[in-house]
Amino acid sequence: MFGSDSSKNGLIDVSEELARKNFSRRRFLQFGSAGAATLTFAPLLSFFSEYGEAQIDPGVLEESIRSTCALCVNKCGLIARVHDGVVHKLDPIPDHPKSRGMLCARGNSGIKVLYDPNRLKSPLIRTGPRGAGQWRQASWEEALDHIAKNLLEIRQKHGPEGVMFSSTEGFQEHFFLSFAEAWGSPNVVRHPTLCLASMINGTFNTFGSVPEFDFANSRYVIMAGANRFESLVTPDSVDLMRNLDGRTKIVVLDPRFTITASKAHEWLPVKPGTDLAFALAMLHVIIGEGRQDQEFIDRYTVGFEELADHVKQYSPEWAQSECGIDAKRIRKIAREFADAAPRVVFYPGRRSSWTTNDTQFRRAIAIVNAVVGAWDRPGASVPKAKISIGEPDIFPPDDIEVARCDALMEDFPLANKKDGTYLGVRDQILQEKDNHIRAWMIYKQNPLHSVPESRKTLEMMNKLDFIVTIDTMPSDTAWMSDVILPESVYLERTDPPHSISGAVPLVAVRQQVVKPRFDTKPCLDIMKSLAERVDLGEYFDYTVDDWFDAAASTLPVSVEELKRKGFYTDRELPEIGNTLKDGFRFRTKTGKIELRSQRYADAGYDPLPVYRPQTPLPNGKYRLLTGRTAIYTHSSLQNVSWLADEDPDGPNVWIHPDAASRHGVRDGDTIGLRTDYGEAQAPVKITNRIRPDSVFVPHGFGHTSPGLHERSRRGARSSDLIGTFQDEITGNAAMHETAVEIFPVPGGHHEEHIPVSTRRVGR
């Protein structure tokens, strides 16, 4: 497969290699058009312009390799067009069940990620004070020996639990977690408590599963805060976008007039943190007016009588006083929604880390869907299926008997034990309730950005003896580490096949498209080599090929077919209605859809969602909101020039014109932002697309790492401002509880401010 690249040592930088060839581009194009009109010769990559004129041998045909994108969580299907060891273009796989034949701006910019000049190129060992940026390049042997020595010393003194492991999802994360398990540390903390933990908990404890959505057939969709046209989730975003010809009514609740709101039939600028009042009032109207699907309720649910009693108190008039949405409008929407059922979705959201009562809000959304019978029917929420695939036989590690450091089961008995809670772990370390944890292994995550209150994260890091970060870019977190290990980027790796659940489930394949440009390795190779050094090699007695063989052995396709197609699925359309058949048992305590949750009651939580007002804003302060755009993924990809060039919003903090005039700031000024947790500065965008009481700080800007390009350092780092609040049930970080002050700063007014040059529609 990689024959065209076989003459090269994988360590040579192909761009430099090609730059040494001295042909002109024009001659190549001439040949292409005159000599071989039917062959597709890929144009040259623009990165050549950074390295000089280059030329591709026109005798070598383009090769197409199918793989899976890794630039966000979605796993979209891509076809890499490779020419002589250089990736020219990433095309979408047309019939891919997850991405539906598209790639977004990020997916299309993947070649710029591969050829990013700021990538980590070899292992680095810190030589000066932490964070001072004094590094020396090391061989893998040396770096891994160094890590093994430090980890073993800590294990001797503090036990295996002395090492904490943090990671985020990805096809290689399994190997990092396998190492943590074999090592014997219970102190693993993953990303869900910075993201969707509350949505999963609230939805799961109602339906016994977390569904997908048959948007293609939906007639009415309510989105509360979920910005699905800027924060893309496949297939949700894609399916809903394709309905934007008027056939689906969309209602958006959001303190900002997002692009999703701009495409909706109604935008309701809800007061931040009060969306639960709206959902409860909807239930009040639907049940009060007898618009529920009683047949569905009787057959599939428990707790309706209690629910009906419970929501009597939540009238639309009451909700209006809480959330600011007109009572008449709430009534109208509730009626329309019930009338359009079951082809309706009250969307549960993805990142649901907003308020301390978030899980109850997600529960309320699930309950609204349930009472109108919008479950497992066309146009409604539909359960996901999963294709089970084989795995290699692996020597299982012993059970870990040491308790987690974050007292998770005491504080959050219903939280996911394996994922932990980020804020909980940090508190334990900072309060020195647990002096065992001395080292931190971090994979594919950037806690200095993703975890609120960065000053505390930094303080925690300063308490630790040893920090290792595995990443592809010199992130802020990597910069504060003692050893950095460079992982190969997704186009350079073959990952084990992954089964991805969905209404149409799939097995996704990520395979190597080009050899690594630098001295980097996939996570598996890294963990395997480290395991050997700490006497745990037997737990990694397999290769990626073994994973492919094991998966294919349980599928009706061969490894070759899997790789050729880039994915496998067992159906073209969702199978809808299975959970409504006689005898189906929902995975809840009662086996039914739980309008009233016995599990919550047993754990001491409200079994029906109870509204609790958010802490009022102190005078003169604003509610800090954060979120993203379709251009970047969390705190990654800000370094990509193509994306930064095409980002119309940039690092700008949004404030309403009333706030601007109150503080005497003008569009484009640099302003100061202050919370009880930190300070930052950022350029400001004055816009009536936000409520007057809110300030929007986009996530992912204000990187501090000097290893990144200047463009990554623009703006404010949202984690410098957001405080430590947790959802009561899951421990999910509540990121919209913080109050922020804004103020002009000396020298912040820029006379020569040039707004982002965006083309205006001219008719």
Partner 1 sequence: MAPRYIMVIDNRKCVRCKACVIACRAENDVPDGYSRNWIAETDVRGQFPNLGLSFEPGQCMQCANPHCVRVCPVGATDRDEDGVIRVDADTCIGCRYCMQACPYDARYPHPTKGIADKCDFCTDRIRAGREPACVETCPSRARVFGDINDPQSEVSRLLAEHRTSRRKVEAGTEPQVYYIDE
Would you tell me which residues interact with partner 1 (CB under 8 A)? 25-26, 29-30, 32, 37-38, 40-41, 43-46, 49, 53, 88-92, 94, 100-105, 107-109, 111, 229-230, 232, 237-238, 241-242, 244-246, 257, 259-260, 262-263, 267-269, 630-631, 641-643, 645-648, 656, 687-689, 692, 758-763
Q: Please report how close the Cβ of residue 172 comes to partner 1 at its closest, in angstroms.
A: 25
Q: In the complex with partner 1, which residue's Cβ is closer, 237 or 301?
A: 237
Which distant-in-sequence residues (6+ apart) come within 8 Å of 646 by Cβ? 105, 631
- Smallest gap from residue 512 Cβ to partner 1 (A): 20
We find the least distance from the C-beta atom of residue 760 to partner 1, in angstroms, to be 6
d(CA 474, CA 113): 13
Of 235, 321, 313, the closest CA to residue 271 belongs to 321
- 748 exposed, middle or buried (CB, 10 Å; 0-12, 13-18, 19+)? middle
3-state secondary structure of 702: coil
Per the CB < 8 A criterion, the answer to whether 78 and 110 are in contact is yes
Cβ proximity to partner 1, 262 vs 558, nearer residue = 262
Q: Which residues sit opposite 125 in a β-bridge?
A: 136, 483
Q: 461 in helix, strand or coil?
A: helix
User: At 28, phi and psi to the nearest 5?
Assistant: -65, -45
Residues in the chain: 763
Q: State the Cα–Cα distance between residues 112 and 108, nearest whole angstrom.
A: 9
User: Could you give the angle at the alpha carbon of 166 between the alpha carbons of 202 and 537, nearest 5°?
Assistant: 125
Q: How far is the CB of 106 from partner 1 (least distance, A)?
A: 8
The beta strand positions in 286-335, using DSSP E, are 301-302
Cα–Cα distance between 500 and 761 in angstroms, integer? 40
As measured in angstroms, the least distance from the Cβ of 666 to partner 1 is 17
DSSP code, position 733? B
Please state the closest distance from residue 696 (CB atom) to partner 1, in A. Answer: 14
- Closest contact distance (angstroms) between CB of 563 and partner 1 is 22
Radius of gyration of the chain (CA): 26
Note whether 101 and 93 are within 8 A (CB). Answer: yes
In the bound state with partner 1, the residue whose beta carbon lies nearer, of 109 and 301, is 109
CB neighbours of residue 57 within 10 Å: 12
3-state secondary structure of 586: coil
Give the nearer residue to partner 1 in terms of CB position, either 57 or 646. 646
Instruction: Give the residue with the Cβ less far from partner 1, 8 or 88.
Output: 88
Q: Give whichever of 44 and 408 is closer to partner 1, judged by the CB atom.
A: 44
- Closer by beta carbon to partner 1, 99 or else 355: 99
Q: How far is the CB of 89 from partner 1 (least distance, A)?
A: 5
In the complex, the smallest distance separating the C-beta of residue 262 from partner 1, rounded to whole angstroms, is 4
- H/E run at residue 125: strand 124-126
- The distance of closest approach from Cβ of residue 15 to partner 1 in the complex, given in angstroms and rounded to an integer, is 14
Nearer to partner 1, 42 or 557 (CB): 42
Between CA 636 and CA 644, with CA 638 as vertex, the angle to 5 degrees is: 150
C-alpha–C-alpha distance, residues 298 and 310, integer Å: 18
Smallest distance from the beta carbon of 255 to partner 1, in angstroms?
10
Beta strands in 258-337 (DSSP E): 266-268, 301-302
Q: Which is nearer to partner 1, 263 or 418 (CB)?
A: 263
Phi, psi of 136, rounded to the nearest 5 degrees: -125, 145
Minimum CB separation of residue 667 from partner 1 in Å reads: 13
CB of 568 to partner 1, least distance (A): 23
Q: Which is nearer to partner 1, 251 or 372 (CB)?
A: 251
Q: Encoding tokens for residue 268? A: 């309701």
Q: Which is nearer to partner 1, 74 or 187 (CB)?
A: 74
What are the φ/ψ torsions at residue 381 (nearest 5 degrees)? -70, 135
Q: Rank residues 112 and 528 by Cβ distance to partner 1 and give the closer one.
A: 112
Instruction: Decide: helix, strand or coil at residue 68.
Output: strand
Element (H, E) at 86: strand 86-92
* Residue 35 vs 618, nearer CB to partner 1: 35
Q: Give the residue carrying structure tokens 């939540």.
A: 314
Q: What is the dihedral of CA 508, 512, 514, 517, to 10 degrees?
A: 110
